[in-house]
Amino acid sequence: MRAALGASLALLTACTAPPLQTLAGGQLLAPAGWSVADAAGAGPRAASASASAGGAGGDSGAGALADWWQRFDDPDLTALVQAALLANPGLQGAQAALQQAQALRDVAAAALWPSLGASASAQRGTAGGNSTGNRLQVGLDGSWGLDLFGARRAGINAAQASADASAASLGDVQGQLAAELALNYILLRTSQLRLQLASDNLASQQQTLQITLWRQQAGLVNALQAEQARAAVEQNQAQLPPLQTAIVQTRHALAVLTGQPPMAWFGLLDLGGRRAAVPPVRGGLAMAVPADTLRQRADVRAAEWQVAAALARVGQAQAQRWPSFAIGGSLALDAASFGALGQGSAVLGSLLASVALPVFDGGALRAQVRVQQAALAQAQQAYRAVVLGALQQVEDALVAQRGNRLRLASLRLAADAAGKAALLARQRYDSGLVDFQTVLETQRTLFATQDGVATASAELGGDQVRLFRALGGGWQPLAQADTP
């Protein structure tokens, strides 16, 4: 069952908002619910019902998503995100772009007000070497363009919408930054965990090699088994450098994301002897209906504002085809000396009203209207693409989360069984009941399943980050631009 998205989405403009058909350039439908089970394992109907009931199954809404990284309960992750939101160069660039858009809005708003200027002049005349007198003049000049057909007002609306689009784009940059940093942090902890697992497996292989060498000296095994044990040790040893490299490179990436040199965070994210772990998410998250999710996303809001700005520019171009009216005047004091300016000076004044009407311009004004209409069509299709992409991102994140959750559960069972099998094989090998090949196979299986658990945990954590990002998390709308 599908419902019209226009009944659910609100435009982000303080003035009269265009309908959704104008935003999307045609009919645009959003699903009534998500097609994949939610985080708690309920079906799409249950997820929609939970959201309609106010999120009985967990936190929901903009407040729960604004600081979603705190749901991982990891102080290091929280500190990194806060540092990035303060000093990331890309984010600071987006803030400067917002300030520029706001300044351009103020420039457009100034056109509605009269302009007033002051002037002063001094003149000295001579004839045949003799002075003919002095003349001093000071005055004020003013003008005011009347906005009878709304061209300037439409320009202000376009500038305001562009400023609001920049504000939403800033929020989108914040969300992207938090998600990228969290994904890198999860990669760091995963690489550290995999390095610890590889080191543990290497230590076990080294013990097995030592036992095999002792048994070879006692004549219980041949050189083939000893060389197999030595090869297993070297294979595991070769897995350590790539993981160590990945850890250092990920630390570099985290430092740069926080606006620091690559080595700034070196040593600050060490485990200090603790066992590495991929941070899990605390609690559940009640899924909102798709229309509410779209309203929360910063990129969708930015696209809405861009459509509103393009629509205002169409109105501005159309208004410029009509007559323009202006009034102006000047007031001046004219005297022969400074002392006479306030006493015996002459007062000069003038008042002027003008009207300008485009009679023939070769079709330039009509063409300008078509230019802005084409720009509006582009903004509408861009908005449509953003909406469809947003829906896909949520669906993809939900599908990936469900699949990786099932995969992780199976890998944990496999790792538990592999651990028991490796222990039994080691004990029986020490007693001479099984050959060395059985020990090697069980140890390889144990390490592969443990490494798989670590990788699947990282992928599941990444899925949760991507889901928070797809739901519009990581930013908080400004109060004045929250709803249109």
Look at residue 126 and tell me if it is in a domain. Answer: no
Number of independent structural domains in the chain: 1
Strands of 324-335's sheet in order across: 115-127, 130-146, 324-335, 346-356
DSSP string, 261-301: -TTTTTTTT--TTPPP-PPPPPS-BPPPPHHHHHHH-HHHH
Q: Is residue 128 part of a domain?
A: no
Domain assignment present for 19: yes
pLDDT of residue 133: 67
What is the C-alpha to C-alpha distance for residues 326 and 349, in angstroms, rounded to an integer? 17
For residue 130, being part of any structural domain is answered with no
Which pLDDT score, from 0 to 100, does residue 274 have?
79
Nearest to 114 by CA among 152, 141, 144, 150: 144
Residue 15 resides in a domain: yes
Burial 335-364 (b: 16+ CB within 10 A, else e): beeeeeeeeebeeeeeeeeeeeeeeeeeee
What whole-number distance in Å separates Cα of residue 315 and Cα of residue 250? 50
DSSP string, 188-254: HHHHHHHHHHHHHHHHHHHHHHHHHHHHHHTTSS-HHHHHHHHHHHHHHHHTHHHHHHHHHHHHHHH
Parts of the chain with a pLDDT under 50: 1-21, 38-58, 480-484
Distance CA 181, CA 465 (A): 10
Three-class SS state of 129? coil
Helices (H), 68-150: 75-87, 89-110
Per residue in 419-474, pLDDT tens?
999 899 888 877 778 877 888 888 889 999 999 999 999 999 999 999 999 999 88
Tokens of residue 51, six digits: 């959201």
Q: How far apart are CA 76 and CA 82, in angstroms?
A: 10
Mean pLDDT value across the chain: 81
**465: CATH:** 1.20.1600.10
d(CA 37, CA 397): 11
**284 lies in which domain range?**
2-112+149-321+366-481
Cα–Cα distance measured from residue 482 to residue 289, given in angstroms and rounded to the nearest whole number = 18
Q: Kindly state whether residue 332 falls inside one of the protein's structural domains.
A: no
The length of the chain is 484
49 lies in a domain? yes
Would residue 342 count as lying in a domain? no
